[in-house]
Structure 1
């Protein structure tokens, strides 16, 4: 395991967190990309995709396009090959998932391993990637505007989002949970939050859950989840409400905080793409099938996540 695996604790952890939180809004694509037309397919395409995802009620939004039942080398894949780079929206603030290795400045983490597998399959080179760091709230617009080909950023598949973007099959399942300091009286997502301040990222599923009911807490909203860890460390927030996967990464950075209570949602993560790019969705699903089957998923999980999130298996793909 790399030397930075558990080296970000206490005050040092806060300093790194602050630096990354600032950088998250500033880092452009590594190469200056050629201009690309906006790729929002419009309301008709969005409505059609949402309808084909699930008839009637939306009960399994993680169902995606079967790579065996359509093209995996159409216009979207051809566009990427012609460019010679895969443009991907990622996070550089989520330790273990998508972050900058402080020793090299390169992107690393569980999500980044998936990006590399996709680039390797499409372009023959895992490093043929242009990374763009995108705040949580801007993930969907970056896809619709054609700024990126896809977002791989601990993005939960849900019924509302499938109206606006297409998702791959789920590659991980997490859940919303409370992260707080060791000396806190907060015991979970319950009435122990009353009169406390809870931090979450704008546009996240945690934000949606808090809007539905915050157990008497004051909600602090920030652009990126790591900003919440900074607020907790500074004493400006009493707790963070986030995916337990992200919370585990924050606890790994700072040993004075920990997850409490139980998960209160089910959060299937998927690779998000433009609704018009059906061949790319199928291609990514094909890559993920191989990634699960050949041991790559398990190897990445063991390296990044097993210590903090033990006992998790890759979710089986679901198709429409």
Structure 2
């Protein structure tokens, strides 16, 4: 891995005050790192005429969405050629998810450094596409803006703990899965909430707008699988905002991906995971639907990343301290292609 970019683990970053500072930083929607190439015309150049269009999956016909990506390939098309011509890769990321995509605490206004598991993957994609891991431009994208950012050409791809699901496959294309996760409940250690069950009755639950967590909460309450008295009305642009609201006592629990929740529990020992994960989900790299050559190329890069130990080295550095070596997520998922 690119050790020169990896910094020491974040220390002492817990509590309401620190979280509030982090959320204030999240207001910067378009985060650009200074070591990248000049901006150019701002176009990502993905898709467009001449790119073969992949199979588009309708939600009602979709099963096992993580198995729907195109096989790996190295042939260039309009999407890859546009990135090469521009000279840098534009990637939508998070800047507030501890150990996934977050600001190095030693960053300055002049030089912002991002690090984490997703950031490592983004650098690896840039290295394979352009020969230099630093030929990359990051843009901080809120959870509910990930798909619009891809569709309107703000970024070439999103690498931001984004779950592959059937509804999203109607709007964007995904790589093969690069991480296994699932939804879990996060609540104060003193809470009587036990998990995703009847103990959520009369509780205020926070989730990120546009997230699979909110979709699950909404569907289960309508179907009677969640107590009708569970209040799921609190949604936020970025998932970390839920942790702040939990710390402030404005909500009683958070539902989010277990991988993110584990990192948040590591930041704040006053909260903990409650119960087991209650869904099975996979993260993928999201791209435009018509950028078939880029999807195939990213899948080739992911194959190499798994096989040469890059994925494992990144997991061991960033996620093993919070998720452990025995976690079912501690090894990369093996892909099945469409």
How many Å separate the matches in 2 of 1:211 and 1:46? 33
How far did 1:140 drift?
0.5
CA displacement, residues 55-76 of structure 1 (integer Å, 9 cap, x when unaligned): x8311211211124xx532111
Q: Secondary structure at the match of 2:235?
A: strand
Q: 2:18 aligns with which of 16, 19, 34?
A: 16
Tell whether the 8 Å contact from 1:6 to 1:252 is kept in structure 2 after alignment.
Answer: no
How far did 1:201 drift?
0.1
Q: Give 1:118's aligned residue.
A: 125
2:331 aligned with 1:313, yes or no? Answer: yes
Q: Give 2:3's aligned residue.
A: none
How many Å separate the matches in 1 of 2:334 and 2:11? 30
Tell whether the 8 Å contact from 2:205 to 2:230 is kept in structure 1 after alignment.
Answer: yes
1:129-148 correspondence runs (5 A): 129-148=136-155
How many Å separate the matches in 2 of 1:2 and 1:255? 22
Q: Which moved more, 1:16-25 or 1:127-136?
A: 16-25
Q: Which moved more, 1:261-270 or 1:208-217?
A: 208-217
How many Å separate the matches in 2 of 1:19 and 1:319? 42
Q: Give 2:231's aligned residue.
A: 218
Q: Give 1:60's aligned residue.
A: 64
Q: Secondary structure at the match of 1:237?
A: coil
1:163-174 correspondence runs (5 A): 163-174=170-181
Note the residue ranges of structure 1 that are not aligned, 5 or more in a row: none
Q: Secondary structure at the match of 1:156?
A: coil
Tell whether the 8 Å contact from 1:88 to 1:129 is kept in structure 2 after alignment.
Answer: yes
CA displacement, residues 19-76 of structure 1 (integer Å, 9 cap, x when unaligned): 22222231424264523288687xxx9994216xx9x8311211211124xx532111
Tell whether the 8 Å contact from 2:94 to 2:101 is kept in structure 1 after alignment.
Answer: yes
How many Å separate the matches in 2 of 1:38 and 1:125? 19
CA displacement, residues 199-248 of structure 1 (integer Å, 9 cap, x when unaligned): 10000000001101242311110111100000001010111100001101
Q: Give 2:82's aligned residue.
A: 79
How many Å separate the matches in 1 of 2:153 and 2:133? 21
2:239 aligned with 1:228, yes or no? Answer: no
How many Å separate the matches in 1 of 2:45 and 2:308? 36
The root-mean-square deviation of aligned C-alpha atoms, in Å, is 2.2
Q: 1:206 aligns with which of 183, 203, 213?
A: 213
Structure 1 37/117 Cα, relative in aligned 2: closer, same or farther at 3 Å? closer
Q: 1:291 aligns with which of 305, 316, 329?
A: 305
TM (norm. structure 2) is 0.86
How far did 1:262 drift?
1.1
How far did 1:2 drift?
5.0
Structure 1 86/48 Cα, relative in aligned 2: closer, same or farther at 3 Å? same
2:287 aligned with 1:273, yes or no? Answer: yes
Structure 1 181/167 Cα, relative in aligned 2: closer, same or farther at 3 Å? same
Aligned length: 310
Note the residue ranges of structure 2 that are not aligned, 5 or more in a row: 1-5, 33-37
TM (norm. structure 1) is 0.91
Q: Give 1:237's aligned residue.
A: 251
Structure 1 208/40 Cα, relative in aligned 2: closer, same or farther at 3 Å? farther
How many Å separate the matches in 1 of 2:104 and 2:40? 24
2:168 aligned with 1:161, yes or no? Answer: yes
